[in-house]
Chains A and B, each alone.
Chain A
Amino acid sequence: MSWQTEVDELNLRRQFADGLGGADAIQRHHEQGRLTIRERIAELVDPGSFQEVGKLTGQGSYQDGKLVGVTPAPYVMGLAKIAGRPVAIGGEDFTIRGGTSWSGDRKKGGQGGFVEDLAHHYHIPLVNLIDGVGGSVASAKRRGHAVFPGVHGFETSVSLLGMVPVVCAVMGTAAGGPAGRAILSHWSVMVRGSSQIFAAGPPVVQRSLGQKIDKEELGGAGMAVDTAGTIDNAAPSERECFAAIRRFLSYMPQNVWELPPAIPCDDPVDRQDEALLSIVPRDRRQPYNMRRLIGMVVDQGSIFEIQPTFGKTLITSLARLNGKVVGVIANDPMIYGGAMDARAARKQTHFMEVCDTFHIPIVMFVDVPGFMVGREAEAATTLREGMRSVFVGLQATVPILTVVIRKCYGMAGMGTTDKNGLDLKLAWPSAEWGSLPIEGGVAAAYRREIEAAPDPVERERQIEAELRALASPFRTAEAFGVEDIIDPRETRPTLSRFIDAVQGKLQTMVGPKLKPGVRP
């Protein structure tokens, strides 16, 4: 006697699971331009690699003790591969009660779910495909009591952030627990136009504050990505969202005990782009295209920009130099002359922590006139956010290579160097530095002398000219105050040599990093 009868039942139960919330619910979901959770996983992972866990979970219905159907638990998850490497992956099934939580003996997904345990115990990246609004008040009626917040807490979600790469993709509408879960990630993405995220949706907002606002305005990409920086990147479609997730993970190690994957580089390491010689205008009031500059230095096609539409005075990108992963941080002179504002500081803080955690050396392309000034900047906590990013930079133990392109001033300038390490500072001939840009500081420092002069305007101009002559980067290089000045065209070969040379050290630094102290 074989177990064929039971295996037939197993297959029947698997069919019920594949049916999700039923044909009608799936059709309504598709009409919104959205894929089902099973379609999403299939699109994202390597073909045939999904090893589902918990496919039999749900609510069975029986007639005379015989199974007639199962409403699946609204969460699909398991083990899969992305670019040949294992990941834990899961997501809510919106076609069943809008992906609300389900009460089995063990939670499948979200915070404290099996999918988190899988990433945690196997030291593999976690990918959350979020499409749910968390608990429903209706569950209290089912259980007979109200659940205390945190029964399924965020403790594993938090622990994972120091251990394995965590990617959260907001695929539909996320509120409550799933929205909170989305934030506890190294990198997050949403779909512009069809996904939203908020602490609570429009009905709760109207009830609490009387505000009438639709869900796209409250938590679409315009708010969550561009304005608030709650989510890092926006993709134009679900498919492009999956491509971005695969791309992000291609720069990441599997866990903090490994180094990020180096790949063969077919872009010549000694490539010297002629355009670098003239990319910085001689007129220091004129900005230039920093993204173009970065593109000429790093491996061709290797740039993946994080938070391109938030904190735009700063550019943060993952990239490669001679095939090795680097984190690029650059000021954008086109936006506020590259000044560090609160948004840019927050962006830099998070990006540096991600790089430090996963042993990704940082390359700084510096053109910063200082912290952003003015009433709005002070109200936006520029000083505190700025010093927090300086603090986090000083806790980082990963190598930081500094290339001063033009301005490097003040406290923001301090935050661009590698004080815990070699502190290698390379400068272009266009570089200038100090505690304050000359034009801002002269009037203050020489006030009496200027006021006493017969022609104060002329005297101020004279003092500026004298100081400007002393500001030549060659004079600082004579004093070894910067380690070298390089021909801009030599930037790629020079950086590549140092990044190559430090790989051995990186190997000795693997493992989790503990960060004592209190962030300002």
Chain B
Amino acid sequence: MATIEVRVEVTGLVWEVVARPGDRVAAGDPLMILESMKMEIPVVTEREGTIKEILVTEGMPVSEGQVVALMER
């Protein structure tokens, strides 16, 4: 089973984690919301799959390109 890494496009703080391990998600679904430059930036998946692991918690700082979640197809 192929693991998909979900990366963030911006540096910021994790504001809210929406998805939980085991959730089935479709392409375009938000997994979490980041706060960056005073905006709420959704982190969306590019593919459908099942959430395997969420690697961050609310309030945690993340950097551009960081892997924040793992999914399985």
Shortest Cβ gap from A378 to chain B (Å): 13
Shortest Cβ gap from A248 to chain B (Å): 26
Q: How far is the CA of A312 from the CA of B10 in the complex (A)?
A: 10
Interchain CB contact under 8 A, B41 and A334: yes
The answer, yes or no, to whether A229 is at the interface (CB within 8 Å) is no
Interchain CB contact under 8 A, B36 and A437: no
Pick from B9, B11, B42: contact of A376, CB under 8 Å: B11
Interchain CB contact under 8 A, A336 and B37: yes
Find the residue from B36, B39, B41 having the highest chain A CB count within 10 A.
B39
Shortest Cβ gap from A334 to chain B (Å): 6
Interchain CB contact under 8 A, B40 and A336: no
The answer, yes or no, to whether A32 is at the interface (CB within 8 Å) is no
Q: How far is the CA of A374 from the CA of B63 in the complex (A)?
A: 12
Chain A interface secondary structure, helix, strand, loop or mixed? loop
Shortest Cβ gap from A387 to chain B (Å): 20
Q: How far is the CA of A278 from the CA of B19 in the complex (A)?
A: 27
Q: How far is the CA of A334 from the CA of B41 in the complex (A)?
A: 6
Q: Closest chain A residue to B36 by CB distance?
A: A336
Interchain CB contact under 8 A, B37 and A287: no
Interchain CB contact under 8 A, A337 and B39: yes
- Chain B: residues with Cβ within 8 Å of the partner, total of 10
Interchain CB contact under 8 A, B39 and A285: yes
Shortest Cβ gap from B15 to chain A (Å): 10
Shortest Cβ gap from B64 to chain A (Å): 8
Pick from B38, B40, B41: contact of A369, CB under 8 Å: B38
Q: Which residues of A contact B42 (CB under 8 A)?
A: 287, 334
Interchain CB contact under 8 A, A374 and B11: yes
Interchain CB contact under 8 A, A287 and B11: no
Report B26-49 residues with CB < 8 Å from chain A CB: 36-42
Pick from A312, A372, A437: contact of B38, CB under 8 Å: A437
Contact flags A374-393 to B (C-beta < 8 A → 1, else 0): 10100000000000000000
Q: Which residues of B contact A335 (CB under 8 A)?
A: 9-10, 41
Interchain CB contact under 8 A, A287 and B38: no
Q: Which residues of A contact B36 (CB under 8 A)?
A: 336-337
Shortest Cβ gap from A251 to chain B (Å): 28
Shortest Cβ gap from B62 to chain A (Å): 13
Q: How far is the CA of A382 from the CA of B17 in the complex (A)?
A: 31
Pick from B9, B11, B40: contact of A312, CB under 8 Å: B9
- Chain A: residues with Cβ within 8 Å of the partner, total of 18
Q: Closest chain A residue to B39 by CB distance?
A: A337
The answer, yes or no, to whether A333 is at the interface (CB within 8 Å) is yes
Q: How far is the CA of A110 from the CA of B48 in the complex (A)?
A: 46
Query: Total A-B pairs in contact (CB under 8 Å)?
Result: 37
Shortest Cβ gap from B9 to chain A (Å): 6
The answer, yes or no, to whether A339 is at the interface (CB within 8 Å) is yes
Q: Closest chain A residue to B12 by CB distance?
A: A336
Q: Which residues of A contact B37 (CB under 8 A)?
A: 336-337, 339, 369, 372-373
Contact flags A431-452 to B (C-beta < 8 A → 1, else 0): 0000001011000000000000
Shortest Cβ gap from A261 to chain B (Å): 36
Shortest Cβ gap from B65 to chain A (Å): 10
Interchain CB contact under 8 A, A336 and B10: yes
The answer, yes or no, to whether A5 is at the interface (CB within 8 Å) is no
Q: Closest chain B residue to A227 by CB distance?
A: B65
Find the residue from A333, A337, A440 having the highest chain B CB count within 10 A.
A337
Q: Which residues of A contact B9 (CB under 8 A)?
A: 312, 334-335
- Known contacts A335-B9, A335-B10, A376-B11; A286 and B39 CB within 8 A of each other: yes
Q: Which residues of B contact A286 (CB under 8 A)?
A: 39-40
Interchain CB contact under 8 A, B38 and A285: yes
Contact flags B1-35 to A (C-beta < 8 A → 1, else 0): 00000000111000000000000000000000000
Q: How far is the CA of A337 from the CA of B38 in the complex (A)?
A: 7
Q: How far is the CA of A442 from the CA of B19 in the complex (A)?
A: 35
- Known contacts A335-B9, A374-B11, A376-B11; A439 and B38 CB within 8 A of each other: yes
Q: Which residues of B contact A336 (CB under 8 A)?
A: 10-11, 36-37, 39
Contact flags A315-343 to B (C-beta < 8 A → 1, else 0): 00000000000000000011111010000
Q: Which residues of B contact A312 (CB under 8 A)?
A: 9
Q: How far is the CA of A285 from the CA of B35 in the complex (A)?
A: 9
Q: Closest chain A residue to B35 by CB distance?
A: A285
Using CB atoms and an 8 Å cutoff, list the residues of chain A in contact with chain B: 285-287, 312, 333-337, 339, 369, 372-374, 376, 437, 439-440
28 A-B contacts, Cβ less than 8 Å apart?
A285-B38, A285-B39, A285-B40, A286-B39, A286-B40, A287-B39, A287-B40, A287-B42, A312-B9, A333-B39, A334-B9, A335-B9, A335-B10, A335-B41, A336-B10, A336-B36, A336-B37, A336-B39, A337-B38, A337-B39, A337-B41, A339-B37, A369-B38, A372-B37, A373-B37, A376-B11, A437-B38, A439-B38
* Given A339-B37, A369-B38, A374-B11, 8 more pairs with CB closer than 8 A: A285-B39, A285-B40, A286-B39, A335-B9, A337-B39, A376-B11, A437-B38, A439-B38
Q: Which 8 A-B pairs have the closest CB atoms?
A: A337-B37, A337-B39, A285-B40, A336-B37, A339-B37, A336-B10, A287-B39, A286-B40
